[in-house]
């Protein structure tokens, strides 16, 4: 994917933007494979909270720190699921008048007609964790991607509630 991005932007400066927190590990691996001058910035948006399905409501927690006017932007996501987060981020970034916005995602669940410019893998509609992706803040540190089944979610939920006491 990094080679394709390098070839497509042909020595143009790139601003790589990734939503925190899920995509930070993928983004760090990806940018090391892109041979272009670049700046990195982060936004933080949320539509999941502690749930496994999007709430449908997007909340901006952290905005960009750098001006992207006239810049080529690569929005790097961990997973395209409902499309709400990418749509929200794309709209937010478009208002800042970049020269272009491209979207790269490690995983795609195909629940939307949003076009990805770069996609790592298409996956089934399963809840995945690891490699930066989480459930209630846990599992980001896994060095692989795993499916979190319902029994494991219930057990983790029970342990979290017990430890609050």
Q: Of 7, 67, 81, 117, which residue is the catalytic one?
A: 81
Q: How confident is the model at residue 111 (pLDDT cuts 50, 70, 90)?
A: confident
**CB 47, CB 56: distance < 8 Å:** yes
pLDDT at 59: 84
Domain ranges of the chain: 2-123
Note if the bond before 101 is cis, omega within 30 degrees: no
Its CATH class, for the domain covering 2-123, is alpha beta
Catalytic site includes residue 35: no
On whether the pTM is more than 0.85, the answer is yes
Calpha distance 37→35 (Å, rounded):
7
Alpha-helix runs per DSSP H in 10-110: 24-31, 84-94
Q: How confident is the model at residue 55 (pLDDT cuts 50, 70, 90)?
A: low
| Stretch (H or E) spanning 8 | helix 2-9
Calpha distance 21→153 (Å, rounded):
20
């Amino acid at each position: 994917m990094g080679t394709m991005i390098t070839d497509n932007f042909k020595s143009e400066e790139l601003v790589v933007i990734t939503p925190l927190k899920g995509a930070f590990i993928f983004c760090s691996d990806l940018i090391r494979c892109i041979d272009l001058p670049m700046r990195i910035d982060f936004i933080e948006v949320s539509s999941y909270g502690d749930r496994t399905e999007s709430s449908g409501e997007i909340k901006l927690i952290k905005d960009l720190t750098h001006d992207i006017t006239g810049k080529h932007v690569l929005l790097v996501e961990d997973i395209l699921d409902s499309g709400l987060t990418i749509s929200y981020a794309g709209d937010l970034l478009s208002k800042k008048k970049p020269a272009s916005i491209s979207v790269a995602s490690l995983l795609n669940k195909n629940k939307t007609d949003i076009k990805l410019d770069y996609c790592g893998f298409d996956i089934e509609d399963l809840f995945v964790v690891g490699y930066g992706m989480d459930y209630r803040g846990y599992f980001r540190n896994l060095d692989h991607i795993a499916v979190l089944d319902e029994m494991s979610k219930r057990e983790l939920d029970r342990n979290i509630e017990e430890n609050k006491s």
